[in-house]
Amino acid sequence: MPRTRALAAALLGVLALTSAACDSGDEPARTDAGWPSTTTPVATDGLIWADDSTVHLPDGSTIDTEDPAGAYVVAGPGVWFTSTEPGELDSNELPELRLATADGVEGTGAHPDIGSLMSSDDGRWLAFIDRLEDGAGAAEAVVVDLSTGEEVVRSSEGLVPSDDDDVDWADLYEDAPVGILGVVDGTAYVGGLDQLVTFDLATGESTLDELDWPAIRGADWWTSVHRTPPLWNDERTWRIPAQAFGAAPVLQSADGERVPTSVPEATGPLGSPDVTGPPLEEWSLGGWTDATTVIGTTPSMDGSSPDWTHPALISCTVPSGECTLIEGTEEGVNLPADRPFGLPRESSIEPNG
């Protein structure tokens, strides 16, 4: 992931919460009051998807975000999401992070950078890059313990240049994107302007390393949340192998048997082609929900064009390889920001991995 910068950046020292708020000119979100938390988190161990404002959870329950869910993750007490209507925000501003639960929707005062929302697979940790000044200002890395509501990390370390006078923040972060790279085993990894910032979530302490992408991609923590084929089921009886380009996806048994997957034909009344639903001409396999079931995606239709951005979902089984459309997803779904196939990262393949 190459990064270019017009500014030569030196890193700030470790900033305390109060000094970070002072320097930025904008008060941190939720620092004093604490964040919403729960000792009984919503279900996250399975498939999650959204249809407009309805987020479907693995246990069959749903949460209503009132507005379209937009970019969202599911963790702790509910759905954390950002969405906005066209023209609602001024230039460079970002939508507010909101929380939807069974009791309703509330704001947080935070403004996550685009693409930065992430949660841990167990739903305990919420992490994002908070852009101050309603999303138009400097960046701070934030990690929240949703079991207690404690904001364990709020730091601009590695995310702002040493000389921040007259900085055009929008231009800076467009040229040198920063983001949350992962939250794994009690550690948060943040990609800074030119360094990797690592936070120990037990202490809040940080370390700095060179932003060496080959080394990062080879690290155990990275590969644990960016899985590549072959991806085995828990019993290691079947796996999703690397797929041949242009061929129907296959599943492979532990004995080496390769089973092609198949989808039903897209037919309408009297056997005519169904032009209202997914074309069902191509599909991708993502991950396991149990020992015999794989979840995949297939493009929905956007007018007359296939749409991979809002795919329909399919469920495939072994040993038959037969796949069926998941009811309710035919017109396309919105998947969580940190789950490309709607499944926990540890049990699904990185797209194009």
Task: Tell me the per-residue pLDDT of 136-181, one tens digit each, with 9 for 90 and over.
Answer: 899 999 999 999 999 999 999 999 998 888 899 999 999 999 999 9
List the end-to-end C-alpha distance of the chain, in Å, as a whole number.
14
The two tokens of residue 63 are: 């949460």
Instruction: For the chain, give the number of residues.
Output: 353
CA distance 336 to 257: 33
Does 96 score more than 80 pLDDT? Answer: yes
Do the beta carbons of residue 166 and residue 151 sit within 8 Å? no
Q: Which residues lie across from 284 on neighbouring strands? A: 297
Does 269 score more than 80 pLDDT? Answer: no
Q: Which residues lie across from 143 on neighbouring strands? A: 127, 153
Does 1 score more than 70 pLDDT? Answer: no
CA distance 55 to 100: 10
- How do 238-240 and 98-101 pair as beta strands? unpaired
Helix (H, G, I), strand (E, B) or coil at 169: helix
Does 11 score more than 70 pLDDT? Answer: no
Q: pLDDT tens for residues 106-141?
A: 999 999 999 999 999 889 999 999 999 988 899 999
Is 183 or 266 the better-scoring residue by pLDDT?
183
Quote the DSSP letter at residue 215: H
pTM of the entire predicted model? 0.86
Q: pLDDT tens for residues 43-85?
A: 999 999 999 999 999 999 999 999 999 999 999 999 999 998 7
How many percent of the chain have pLDDT more than 70? 87
Do the beta carbons of residue 121 and residue 132 sit within 8 Å? no
Sketch the domain layout of the chain as residue ranges.
17-225, 231-347
Is 87 or 255 the better-scoring residue by pLDDT?
255
Helix (H, G, I), strand (E, B) or coil at 217: helix
> Can you give the pLDDT at residue 273?
52
Out of 55-59, 224-228, 238-242, pick the least confident.
224-228
Which of 341, 9, 328 is closest to 175 using CA atoms?
A: 9
Mean pLDDT for the chain overall? 87
**In terms of C-beta density within 10 A (0-12 exposed, 13-18 middle, 19 or more buried), how is residue 68 classed?**
middle
Does 272 score more than 80 pLDDT? Answer: no
The two tokens of residue 278 are: 């997914």
Kindly list the distances between the CA atom of residue 315 and the CA atoms of 36, 48, 285, 297, in Å, as whole numbers in the listed order.
Answer: 34, 13, 9, 9
Does 104 score more than 70 pLDDT? Answer: yes
Q: pLDDT tens for residues 337-350?
A: 999 999 999 889 98
Does 18 score more than 50 pLDDT? Answer: no
DSSP line for 14-64: ---HHHHHHHHTSPPTTTTT-----SSPPP-SS--EEETTEEEPTTS-EEE
> Residue type for 146, please?
L
Q: pLDDT tens for residues 41-53?
A: 999 999 999 999 9
CA distance 141 to 157: 8
> Can you give the pLDDT at residue 164?
82
CA distance 75 to 55: 12
CA distance 202 to 211: 23
Quote the DSSP letter at residue 271: G
Tell me the longest C-alpha to C-alpha distance in the chain.
70
Helix (H, G, I), strand (E, B) or coil at 1: coil
**In terms of C-beta density within 10 A (0-12 exposed, 13-18 middle, 19 or more buried), how is residue 2 classed?**
exposed
C-alpha 193, offset from chain centre: 21
DSSP line for 117-151: -EE-TTS-EEEEEEETTTTTS-EEEEEEETTTTEE
Do the beta carbons of residue 32 and residue 18 sit within 8 Å? no
> Can you give the pLDDT at residue 76?
97
The residue written with tokens 């929707």 in the block is 105
Does 93 score more than 90 pLDDT? Answer: no
